[in-house]
Amino acid sequence: MSVACSTVKMTDKNGDLSFINQESTQWRDVPKETITYAPKKETIMLVGGLTILQDKLIETALHSIGENFVALPNPDFESFQKGKAFGNRGQCNPTYFTVGNLVKYLQNLRDEKGISTEEIVQKYVFVTAGGCGPCRFGMYITEYKKALRDAGFDGFRITSFEHNKGIFQSEDEDESLLNLSPKFFITLVKAILIGDIMNLLGYKMRPYEVEVGSVDKAMEECREIVSLAFEEKKNLTKALWSCRSILEKVALNRLQPKAKVMVMGEFWAAMTEGDGNYNLHRFLEAEGAECIPQPIMNRLMLSIWEAERKLYKKESLVVETDKKVDFSSVKSRIMIKLAKTAVKTHFSLYAKAIGLHDYEIPDMDKLAALSEEYYTLDCEGGEGHLEVAHLIESVKDNLSHLTISVKPFGCMPSSAVSDGVQSLVTNRFPSANFLAIETSGEGAANFYSRVQMALFKAKQSAKEEFDELTVPESVPEKVHNYLYQPHNAKAGTASQLVHSL
Minimum distance from residue 274 beta carbon to ligand SF4 (Å): 16
* Interaction of residue 229 with ligand SF4, rule CB under 6 A: no
Q: For residues 361 and 416, which CB has a smaller minimum distance to ligand SF4 in the complex? A: 416
In this structure, which amino acid lies at residue 149? R
DSSP bridge partners of 10: 18
* Interaction of residue 413 with ligand SF4, rule CB under 6 A: yes
Q: Are 493 and 290 in contact (CB under 8 A)?
A: yes
> At CB < 8 A and 24+ separation, what contacts does 298-303 make?
298/362, 298/386, 299/267, 299/383, 300/189, 300/192, 300/343, 301/340, 301/343, 301/361, 301/362, 301/364, 302/364, 302/383, 302/384, 302/386, 303/163, 303/164, 303/166
Q: For residues 166 and 408, which CB has a smaller minimum distance to ligand SF4 in the complex? A: 408
* Interaction of residue 266 with ligand SF4, rule CB under 6 A: yes
Minimum distance from residue 447 beta carbon to ligand SF4 (Å): 16
Q: For residues 135 and 180, which CB has a smaller minimum distance to ligand SF4 in the complex? A: 135
Minimum distance from residue 382 beta carbon to ligand SF4 (Å): 3
Q: What is the DSSP letter of 416?
A: I
Stretch 137-166 residues interacting with ligand SF4 (CB under 6 A): 137
Member of 48, 202, 274, 382 binding ligand SF4 (CB under 6 A):
382
Q: What is the DSSP letter of 204?
A: H
Stretch 291-350 residues interacting with ligand SF4 (CB under 6 A): none
Minimum distance from residue 461 beta carbon to ligand SF4 (Å): 30
Rounded CA separation 202/214 (Å): 10
Rounded CA separation 279/268 (Å): 13
Q: For residues 330 and 379, which CB has a smaller minimum distance to ligand SF4 in the complex? A: 379
Minimum distance from residue 95 beta carbon to ligand SF4 (Å): 6
* Interaction of residue 136 with ligand SF4, rule CB under 6 A: yes
Minimum distance from residue 383 beta carbon to ligand SF4 (Å): 7
Stretch 41-100 residues interacting with ligand SF4 (CB under 6 A): 92, 94
Rounded CA separation 5/334 (Å): 43
* Interaction of residue 387 with ligand SF4, rule CB under 6 A: no
Per CB under 6 A, which region of 58-66, 272-280, 404-412, 484-492 contacts ligand SF4? 404-412
**Which is nearest to 195 in space by CA: 237, 233, 164, 226?**
226
First vs last C-alpha separation in the chain: 63
Q: For residues 131 and 486, which CB has a smaller minimum distance to ligand SF4 in the complex? A: 131
Member of 414, 439, 461, 496 binding ligand SF4 (CB under 6 A):
414
Task: Please state the three-class secondary structure of 321-340 as a single string.
Answer: CCCCCCHHHHHHHHHHHHHH
Q: For residues 295 and 413, which CB has a smaller minimum distance to ligand SF4 in the complex? A: 413
DSSP bridge partners of 289: 259
Minimum distance from residue 91 beta carbon to ligand SF4 (Å): 8
Per CB under 6 A, which region of 121-129, 158-166, 411-419, 462-470 contacts ligand SF4? 411-419
Residue 87 CB contacts under 8 Å (≥ 6 apart), including other chains:
95, 96, 99, 100, 143, 146, 147
Rounded CA separation 323/304 (Å): 27
Q: For residues 438 and 465, which CB has a smaller minimum distance to ligand SF4 in the complex? A: 438
* Interaction of residue 412 with ligand SF4, rule CB under 6 A: yes
Minimum distance from residue 373 beta carbon to ligand SF4 (Å): 23
Cα–Cα–Cα angle for 96, 101, 103, rounded to 5 degrees = 100
Member of 295, 408, 441, 492 binding ligand SF4 (CB under 6 A):
408
Per CB under 6 A, which region of 135-143, 224-232, 302-310, 475-483 contacts ligand SF4? 135-143
- Residue 49 Ramachandran class (φ > 0 left, ψ -120 to 50 alpha, else beta): left
Q: Are β-strands 259-265 and 69-71 bridged in parallel, bridged antiparallel, or unpaired?
A: unpaired
Minimum distance from residue 376 beta carbon to ligand SF4 (Å): 16
Q: For residues 97 and 124, which CB has a smaller minimum distance to ligand SF4 in the complex? A: 97
Rounded CA separation 82/98 (Å): 10
> Which spans of this chain sit near ligand SF4 (rule: CB under 6 A)?
92, 94, 135-137, 266, 268, 382, 408, 411-414
